[in-house]
Chains A and B, each alone.
Chain A
């Protein structure tokens, strides 16, 4: 199998005062594979995703490392080559469907714009077909509707139709179900799953919701304070978490059989630029020892189950 996306030792920092935001992140996505990027707010998930598209905010720059899409370095591509890839080979869906559609433009026209921008024939039938494939009732009528006439779930379907219409090789999903209620969430998850299978597409699912992630992906990348804490197959991660942070995350999920209090991790995540020479999790870790506070553990790089911890769960401490 060929990796479609390789993130290699990616470090990001602020442009002005050079504060480290993402530290030495590496992971790979195989062709057709789905990977979950899990972490709290501020752990660098969204920045990592944006750098895949070459769309970092103006205040953030790449410090080191590279991202390869089908073996080609994103950072070395010209801006027009990048424009060709965005929306066409790599697409993205976002968290808030209520603000992600242009309120002044009819739904059909917005989807046609995707074809138009990539200079592909934009027949009305194709757009209606796309609307039908994301299970929008009455696609002909939806074609000439404005976004405000649609509910959140319906708008998220339109977003998915727009993202999927050029059959991208990789879909980045940035918490696309967070703003939806649970029943609609389930429908959207099934829709993305089905689209993914039909088009043999790779998926990077960004979320802080481990429940959703476990349902959507084959491999999980756990991020903490801008670093990768643990990488592994979804089963491995859930059954045998090695990093104490992952363990804490899993312990804080509500389970149906739960009788005792939910586990919580004391404290708050540190800012990535304040923890240069220690383990990022040292302050909050129940298994912390002196070596954790004086040096960085090595970061996981390979695809099999790996973690960045001196004293992982299940070892003698």
Chain B
């Protein structure tokens, strides 16, 4: 038996992985920026126009320069980041719960329910994510909630598949069979014994899905179906910058950089989680 002092929390292992550390620091900085926008502590209003400062390059007054209406790009990028993040978080949150519920119950109980869940998700998988999201968002509408729903529907089958697989193998393991022998109810077995065992996989999937969801949201806004002007969104800003980039590179650089940073940071966090939550990587 090992001594208690040698028992380390998962965070210790997480912090030990380089990608996890970089990802977490980056993500924290981005979240701080988004929070600033949420509490309106930005240098300029994201919609405030300044006719005296149109298409100005980066300076101390305007960190990332200004756009064709004299709006401060730094403020708009943070505002857009907040919007993209909140849409993706809501979408992934919904997709996780729905997908987890369907995946776990289908995997555990099997039978017709299982077949139905698998076939339905196969149908959803047959469409490219962005096309399906496009179709749904044009049917639903253009508010941020609609965009969230569209992304949630597209991502739910991923969570169904990711959770169902492990449940199929878990329910055949001796310690899950043992819970039946000990007279536990199905809900107790699912919530207290199966769920903690698929948590590591689920958390990694959540981190990765968040980064994809940010891309999907930006893609929708880029195509004019997500956030609508004059509101700021990373995708919409990239789209606007298309006509300006030949003489004002900063209009494209800032939103692209933030888009890249958020996707990279979430992927790194996913990597770190995978490393730290994988029990086979730990040595006693």
Query: Which A positions have Cβ atoms within 8 angstroms of B?
Result: 53, 55, 58, 82-88, 91-92, 94, 96, 99-105, 113-114, 116-118, 138, 141-142, 144-145, 148-150, 154, 159, 162-163
Contacts of A99 in B (CB 8 A): 173-175
CA distance A149 to B6 in the complex (A): 11
The reply to whether the CB of B4 lies closer than 8 angstroms to some CB of chain A is yes
Q: How far is the CB of B12 from chain A (nearest CB, A)?
A: 15
Contact residues, B153-184 vs A (CB, 8 A): 173-176, 178-184
- CB within 8 Å for A94 and B174 given contacts A86-B181, A105-B196: yes
Query: Which B positions have Cβ atoms within 8 angstroms of A?
Result: 1-2, 4, 110, 173-176, 178-185, 188, 192-193, 196-197, 199, 279, 284
> Is A53 a contact of B196 with CB atoms below 8 Å?
no
Q: How far is the CB of A112 from chain B (nearest CB, A)?
A: 11
- CB within 8 Å for A141 and B183 given contacts A99-B174, A149-B284: no
> Is A138 a contact of B182 with CB atoms below 8 Å?
no
Contacts of B179 in A (CB 8 A): 113
Contact of A100 among B110, B178, B199 (CB under 8 A): B178
> Is B183 a contact of A85 with CB atoms below 8 Å?
yes
Contact of B2 among A101, A105, A149 (CB under 8 A): A149
> Is B182 a contact of A162 with CB atoms below 8 Å?
yes
Q: How far is the CB of A100 from chain B (nearest CB, A)?
A: 4
- Kindly report which residue of chain B lies nearest to residue A85, judged by CB atoms: B183
CA distance A285 to B31 in the complex (A): 78
> Is A114 a contact of B182 with CB atoms below 8 Å?
yes
Interface centre among A104, A105, A144 (most CB of B within 10 A): A104
Contacts of B279 in A (CB 8 A): 103, 148
Contacts of A100 in B (CB 8 A): 174-175, 178
- CB within 8 Å for A141 and B1 given contacts A103-B279, A148-B284: yes
Q: How far is the CB of A10 from chain B (nearest CB, A)?
A: 19
CA distance A174 to B63 in the complex (A): 72
- CB within 8 Å for A117 and B183 given contacts A104-B196, A149-B284: yes
CA distance A83 to B168 in the complex (A): 22
Contacts of A117 in B (CB 8 A): 182-185, 188
